[in-house]
Amino acid sequence: MTTFLVEAGNSFLKSAVLSGAELSPSIRFQAEQIAAMPVPADCQRMLFASVGNEAIAEALFSFAMSQGIECLEIKSEAKAFGVTSAYAEPQRLGVDRWLAMLAAFNEAKGACLVLDIGTAATADLIDNNGQHLGGWIAPGFQMMTDAVLSRTAKVIGLEPTEGELVFGASTGTGLYAGCRAMVTGFVTSAIATAKAQIGQDIPLFFTGGGIRHLPNSMGSLGRYRPDLVLEGLALYS
């Protein structure tokens, strides 16, 4: 059985092909490229999940129809694959958060913390029984730099700094490092809060392009899984 998986995020879409239990590497594209998505010839089914607007879902459904393949949209649920949502209205939880949690819990088989640094940054905590204890939503790296650049007169320019966090000696490096520090603080604080709430260190799952902004020393704290949301979607196939 071959299934085409699509995740529509806030800024980009990602697709991958699931053949049996094997998930292909993902590709990243924009909404304008939906009509050109590379569906394998032997694909019978498409599954998608979207945090975007209704137009994206419609474009994905009509693409599937044009290809003559069955198409199913996955939405956040109250409970699935051992995980129970913390939300009183589970459908309101972003489906990217939901799917990342399913993939993480399915692997950790116990308490875990999911950190997704994408367009927005999110943290979600799950206990040993699969109960989601709740999460955080904050701006992602680019959203923060954009906000400072657009709402100040004299902060102009953004100069990348890599490696360990240091203070910047120019506007551009100061802004870049400062926003890296904000991401780092979010992650550090989520880890400490999770530890306090669960009572011990737990596995960490990192995803999202913004993870690159963490200091190198933090990378070793957890598992970096760029396709965690697609892995969660694959559970539904």
Ligand X SMILES: Nc1ncnc2c1ncn2[C@@H]1O[C@H](COP(=O)(O)OP(=O)(O)OP(=O)(O)O)[C@@H](O)[C@H]1O
Residues with active-site annotation: 96
Q: Which does 141 bind (CB under 5 to 8 A by kind): ligand PAU, ligand X, none?
A: ligand X
> Cβ distance 48 to 74 under 8 Å?
yes
* SS3 state at 199: coil
**Binding status of residue 94 toward ligand PAU by CB under 6 A:** yes
> Cβ distance 121 to 189 under 8 Å?
no
Q: How far apart are CA 133 and CA 125, in angstroms?
A: 5
**Binding status of residue 127 toward ligand PAU by CB under 6 A:** no
Q: Which does 11 bind (CB under 5 to 8 A by kind): ligand X, ligand PAU, none?
A: ligand X
Nearer to ligand X, 96 or 127 (CB): 96
How many degrees, rounded to 5, is the angle at CA 61 between CA 32 and CA 123?
75
> Nearest-CA neighbor of 202 among 136, 90, 124, 148?
124
How many degrees, rounded to 5, is the angle at CA 105 between CA 99 and CA 108?
140
Nearer to ligand PAU, 92 or 154 (CB): 92
Closest CB 10 distance from ligand X, rounded Å = 4
Q: Is 174 annotated as a binding residue?
A: no
Q: Is 119 annotated as a binding residue?
A: yes
* Identified binder of ligand PAU from the candidate list 96, 127, 227, 231, rule CB under 6 A: 96
Residues 59-88 that bind ligand X (CB under 6 A): none
Nearer to ligand X, 82 or 157 (CB): 157
Half-sphere exposure of 175 (CA within 13 A, CB side): 18
- Which structure tokens are listed for 87? 């939300």
Nearer to ligand PAU, 122 or 145 (CB): 122
> Cβ distance 193 to 136 under 8 Å?
no
Residues 166-225 that bind ligand X (CB under 6 A): 208-210, 212
| Angstrom distances, CA of residue 2 to CA of 41, 47, 65, 96, 201 | 9, 11, 17, 22, 38
Angle, nearest 10°, between helix axes 171-198 and 141-151? 140
Closest CB 3 distance from ligand X, rounded Å = 20
Closest CB 106 distance from ligand X, rounded Å = 20
Stretch that binds ligand X, among 6-14, 67-75, 100-108, 124-132 (CB under 6 A): 6-14
Binding site for ligand X (CB under 6 A): 9-12, 118-119, 140-142, 208-210, 212
Binding site for ligand PAU (CB under 6 A): 10, 51, 92-94, 96-97, 118, 120, 122, 137
